[in-house]
């Protein structure tokens, strides 16, 4: 990259000094041709749609729908999914434009580097590391629980004194790590098979569950608000930020519960942003990436609303209260034990693909950061298979340790706040790039700019506002740690800082 100021070198040069130095879109695209850090372009729009459905359908349907209905929203959980889908849809439009304009690995990190500058890119990259690592580990533990169900109730856990080791979650991460290291196209084929299995199971849930549907179970659709008795007398850190500011108290159900539920089930929709991380590995990304992002989101929204309506119509939401309720619980109440077993198998297939695609997203964000020098450059080496094997191994080991030994509890909300923060920046970035680089070719354009991006920011900020104060505090601490790492390592080793964009990665 040139060290000339933007006014001398034109808008393509970007800002080259200071914390807000930008990496131009042209430079980001040129970096994809680096032979030492080159990803193979194997994916089609179909592959991306499969990845999107693979990661989005799974966690929400098999682990969140029943618990959220029973503990937070009642039958209105279907409305919570609609609220979350609207926010995701607005953000998806912005992602589609960015991914078609900057078809480079890294998703929101790469987009932020081109618009806001290096310090913001680092913040969002650090944020995505948390999002994908926790997401991979949390869902792997959910997969392990279903494995225990399939094994007749024998949970895949070893006890070493007071220490519990979840070998089922570790085994899954190890197998998927090998698949991802072998190639993205192979991973897509495995995902396609697993997606077919879980879609068949979801169709079974809707068809069989509809035979037990009673409209009376949907009343009241929004249950009356009740105090939450499980948080130590209403500790303020367990309230949502919205409840704390408005004085809504620490309650479940009612409209406060519904809004909080929308922020929680949002976890079910994360995934289309992972599709954007695969833009660099896609054939004709200007056309195929927007199709993959928007197509997968449309499919899964219909599935979520259908399943949540059938589930809450089968049984009273009160029968789904507690931390152990799942889709299978509703069928067990009606004595349909064979359906319970099939759902467990479908959940295994579904959650397998969720872990795989979140794992993929984690490696691609780290790959992009390493290629820019913000992480050790040698990690970006791809080798003959065109995959970042070194990063895949490192991420696999870290996620395996987390999934094997850590009991996450409310930490899963950290995934939501990290994702929403990324969505806000991407939405703002679309408006900025339209103004600063109107000359760039865009394979997809967000309609009604800046109205749609502004709505996206408001919707995502609203969902963040309805996450717990405890989650916000943890997020601030994680970001503070990230700033220490940036100033201790990333800022000094950044290629933009060195003016050495052609520096070799090496083997």
Within its chain, how far is the Cα of 473 from the centroid? 20
pLDDT given for residue 9 in this prediction: 43
pLDDT given for residue 395 in this prediction: 93
- Which residues touch 253 (CB under 8 Å, ≥6 apart)? 72, 73, 74, 222, 223, 224, 225, 226
pLDDT given for residue 232 in this prediction: 43
Q: What is 164-201 written as a DSSP string? A: EEEHHHHHHHHHHHHHHHH-HHHHHHHHHHHHHHHHHH
Task: Tell me the pLDDT tens digit for each residue of 162-197.
Answer: 888 999 999 999 999 998 888 777 777 888 888 888
pLDDT mean over 31-42: 78
Q: Identify the band that residue 5 occupies on the pLDDT scale cut at 50, 70 and 90.
A: very low
Residues 236 and 378 sit within 8 Å (Cβ to Cβ): no
Retrieve residue 363's tokens: 């490696």
Helix/strand/coil for 473: helix
Task: Tell me the pLDDT tens digit for each residue of 97-147.
Answer: 888 888 887 778 888 898 889 999 999 999 888 888 888 888 898 888 878
pLDDT given for residue 62 in this prediction: 64
Sign of the alpha-carbon dihedral angle for 265, 145, 74, 343:
positive
pLDDT given for residue 22 in this prediction: 85
Task: Tell me the pLDDT tens digit for each residue of 424-474.
Answer: 988 999 999 899 889 888 888 999 999 999 999 998 888 788 777 888 888
User: Dihedral through CA 265, CA 60, CA 94, CA 285, nearest 10?
Assistant: 170
**How far is 239 from 462, CA to CA, in rounded Å?**
15
SS3 for 237-259 is HHCEHHHHHHCCCCEECHHHHHH
Q: Residue 7 above 50 pLDDT?
A: no
Task: Tell me the pLDDT tens digit for each residue of 214-264.
Answer: 999 998 888 877 766 544 444 566 666 656 666 555 557 777 778 778 877
pLDDT given for residue 502 in this prediction: 44
Task: Tell me the pLDDT tens digit for each residue of 274-329.
Answer: 777 777 888 888 888 888 888 888 888 888 889 999 999 999 888 888 777 777 78
Q: Identify the band that residue 56 occupies on the pLDDT scale cut at 50, 70 and 90.
A: confident
Residues 311 and 78 sit within 8 Å (Cβ to Cβ): no
Owner of token pair 């948390």: 130
Residues 364 and 103 sit within 8 Å (Cβ to Cβ): no
Least confident of 32-46, 104-118, 264-278: 264-278
- Report the predicted TM-score, pTM, of the whole model to 2 decimal places: 0.79
pLDDT given for residue 285 in this prediction: 82
Compute CA distances 460 → 262, 324, 467, whole Å.
11, 29, 11
pLDDT given for residue 146 in this prediction: 79
Listed ranges 13-22, 187-196, 336-345; the one with the highest mean pLDDT = 187-196
pLDDT given for residue 309 in this prediction: 92
């Amino acid at each position: 990259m040139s060290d000339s100021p933007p006014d001398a070198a034109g808008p393509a040069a970007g800002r080259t000094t200071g914390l807000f130095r930008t990496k131009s879109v042209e430079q980001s695209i040129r970096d994809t041709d680096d032979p030492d850090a080159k990803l193979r372009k194997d994916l089609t729009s179909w592959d991306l749609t499969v990845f999107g459905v693979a990661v989005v359908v799974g966690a929400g349907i098999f682990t969140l729908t029943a618990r959220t209905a029973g503990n937070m929203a009642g039958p209105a959980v279907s409305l919570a999914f609609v609220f979350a889908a609207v926010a995701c849809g607005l953000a998806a439009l912005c992602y589609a434009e960015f991914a078609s304009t900057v078809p480079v690995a890294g998703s929101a990190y790469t987009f932020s580097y081109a618009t806001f500058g290096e310090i913001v890119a680092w913040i969002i990259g650090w944020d995505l590391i948390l999002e994908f690592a926790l997401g991979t580990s949390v869902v792997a533990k959910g997969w392990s629980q279903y494995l225990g169900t399939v094994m007749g109730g024998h949970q895949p856990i070893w006890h070493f004194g007071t220490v519990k080791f979840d070998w089922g979650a570790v085994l899954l991460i190890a197998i998927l790590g090998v698949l991802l290291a072998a190639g993205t196209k192979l991973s897509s084929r495995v995902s396609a098979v697993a997606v077919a299995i879980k879609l068949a199971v979801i169709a079974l849930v809707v068809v069989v569950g509809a035979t037990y549907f009673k409209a009376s179970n949907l009343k009241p659709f929004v249950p009356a608000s009740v105090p939450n008795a499980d948080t130590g007398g209403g500790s303020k850190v367990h309230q949502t930020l919205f409840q704390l500011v408005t004085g809504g108290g620490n309650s479940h159900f009612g409209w406060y519960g519904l809004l909080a539920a929308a922020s929680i089930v949002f976890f079910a929709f994360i995934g289309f942003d992972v599709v954007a991380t695969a833009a660099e590995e896609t054939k004709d990304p200007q056309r195929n990436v927007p199709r993959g992002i928007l197509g997968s989101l449309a499919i899964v929204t219909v599935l979520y609303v259908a399943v949540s309506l059938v589930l809450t119509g089968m049984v009273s939401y009160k029968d789904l209260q507690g931390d152990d309720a799942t889709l299978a619980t509703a069928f067990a109440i009606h004595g349909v034990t064979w359906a319970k077993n099939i759902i467990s198998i479908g959940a295994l297939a579904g959650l397998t693909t969720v872990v795989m695609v979140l794992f993929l997203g984690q490696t691609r964000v780290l790959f992009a950061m390493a290629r820019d020098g913000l992480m050790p450059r040698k990690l970006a080496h791809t080798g003959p298979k065109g995959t970042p094997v070194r990063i895949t191994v490192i991420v696999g080991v870290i996620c395996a340790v987390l999934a094997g030994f850590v009991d996450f509890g409310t930490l899963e909300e950290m995934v939501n706040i990290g994702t929403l923060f990324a969505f806000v920046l991407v939405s703002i970035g679309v408006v900025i790039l339209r103004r600063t680089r109107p000359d760039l070719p865009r394979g997809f354009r967000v309609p009604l700019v800046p109205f749609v991006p502004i709505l996206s920011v408001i919707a995502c900020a609203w969902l963040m506002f309805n996450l717990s104060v405890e989650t916000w505090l943890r997020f601030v601490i994680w970001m503070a740690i990230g700033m220490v790492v940036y100033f201790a390592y990333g800022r000094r080793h950044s290629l933009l800082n060195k003016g050495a964009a052609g520096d070799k990665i090496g083997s």
